[in-house]
Amino acid sequence: MKSTFSRILTAVAIALLAALLLIGIFFQILVRDYLTDTAVDALKSDGEVLVELVQAAYSGAPITDRNFNVALTVASSVSGADAVFCDASGRLVLCAQSPMGCEHQGMQLGQDYLEKVFSTGCATDTGVVQGLYPERRYVVGLPIINEQTGVRIGVIIVSTPMEDTLAVLQKISEIFVFVSILVVLLAVCLMTLFVRQQSKPLKDMANAARAFGHGELTARVETEGNHTQEVEELALAFNNMAASLQKSEYQRQEFVANVSHELKTPMTTIAGYVDGILDGTIPKEKERQYLQVVSDETKRLNRLVRSMLDISRLQDQQGIPEEQKTRFDVEEALGQVLISFEQKIEEKKLQVQVDMPEHPVFALAHQDYITQVLYNLLDNAVKFCPEGGALELRIRESSGKVYVSVSNEGQTIPAQELPLVFDRFHKIDKSRSQNRDSWGLGLYIVKTIVSAHGENISVDSRDGKTTFAFTLPRVN
């Protein structure tokens, strides 16, 4: 498997080589065209001078005149180009480098090339001139015509070797290859340092994830350093995820421990009493009494299982579906719940104060769930309110919300306990024996239901008064 480092390095190297190759090709083409144009322009200029010289000689003296031959040789030597003169039929008459005669004299030009020179006024070619020069050359052919009569006199062919141009191109290629290799090596070194620096936090993150997967829940990624914004955001996201998973794992462990603890006592009680009845340890006349205890403990276990199923169902839904919400009167729902606590309220001689609008207050929510919220809050209030104390129920409406609060007099909840009151299995009363009917799930269920509606719940406890308040969406 290729690493990120090798992938990036390979991609950059290929891209750099491709860029350098394209630059080299285009640069070679530009230089070659420039040198070719320069050489051809120089040959044209030299050829035009020789054409004027031939025209002058033709008008005053024969072409074979010695003075003309010497002048043609001098002009060719000054220009640095080789020149040959062919008559109108294409037969080579004079070579500027050998005015006294050379082996090429009498050579015949092809009629196609001859007509091309006369028809275009200037024929430009590159390559080997068969029979004249063995090397590749720039060749320019110019026609010579009598200006007075318009009669064709002949053709001047001016040429120069391409060796100088090819040598320049070869030198440029060598320099370019050397510079390219140097640039690629330098780029590879810089990219190696850069990519390793950039990939280090990713490797650290992989190591942290590996450690986290092996149970080291405190593993985190360093976020302080010269990292890019994307890597920094990824590290922060990983740390947040790790913290959330760590919290979830701790909650799971705490949940298992709490469930085990809560189930151990009633199950031990049930097992002990049943075994006592079966083996005759418990007298016959007391069997009914202990069977009632077994029945009560079984019902408590049933309530625990039902509560946990309700919580699981709400959490699986991830919110209350809109089709399950109905419009109902919150005042009527609270009144019905209050009636169900009438006996307990009278037994403790509690004073109930109700503050509600005189008109119905409608909310859009799951009525059964909200009734359960009201029941749990009122049950808590009655349970922790001292004998002869006061309960306060309040409903008010504002800005599209219904505000419901349940208050009771009693012992103030310590400030450090307030953030924990909605946690699973958390009991404000630390003595479990004082409140055997409580599992510490009531307020957790309340929080889960209210949150499932997208609403908020809060608790406030001060000066011997505790208030739980939550919101609901109000409708007309």
What's the CATH fold of domain 4-167?
Beta-Lactamase (3.30.450)
Return the SS3 of 231.
helix
CB 373 within 8 A of CB 337: no
Express as a percent the part of the chain with pLDDT over 70: 84
Distance CA 273, CA 283 (A): 11
* Residue 253, CA distances (Å) to 247, 263, 305, 423 in order: 10, 15, 18, 14
Same fold: 4-167 with 323-475 = no
> Which residues does residue 139 pair with via DSSP β-bridges, in sequence order?
125, 159
Domain locations in the chain?
4-167, 323-475
Per-residue confidence (pLDDT) for residue 406, from 0 to 100: 94
In the CATH hierarchy, which top-level class contains the domain 323-475? alpha beta
Phi, psi (5° rounding) for residue 160? -145, 145
Radius of gyration (Cα) for the chain, nearest Å? 53
CB 331 within 8 A of CB 472: no
**Does 349 score more than 80 pLDDT?**
yes
Q: What are the structure tokens assigned to 31, written together?
A: 């230089």
**Does 144 score more than 70 pLDDT?**
yes
**Tens-digit pLDDT profile for residues 317-338:** 667 888 889 999 999 999 988 9
Per-residue confidence (pLDDT) for residue 99, from 0 to 100: 59
Per-residue confidence (pLDDT) for residue 408, from 0 to 100: 94
Per-residue confidence (pLDDT) for residue 327, from 0 to 100: 94
When mean pLDDT is compared across 41-50, 113-122, 176-185, 307-316, the lowest value belongs to: 307-316
Mean pLDDT of 292-299: 81
Residue 386 DSSP label: P
In terms of C-beta density within 10 A (0-12 exposed, 13-18 middle, 19 or more buried), how is residue 157 classed? buried
Helix, strand and coil percent figures for the chain, each rounded to 5: 55, 20, 25
For residue 244, is it left (φ>0), alpha (ψ between -120 and 50) or beta? alpha
**Tens-digit pLDDT profile for residues 429-445:** 544 334 444 446 778 88
**Does 164 score more than 50 pLDDT?**
yes
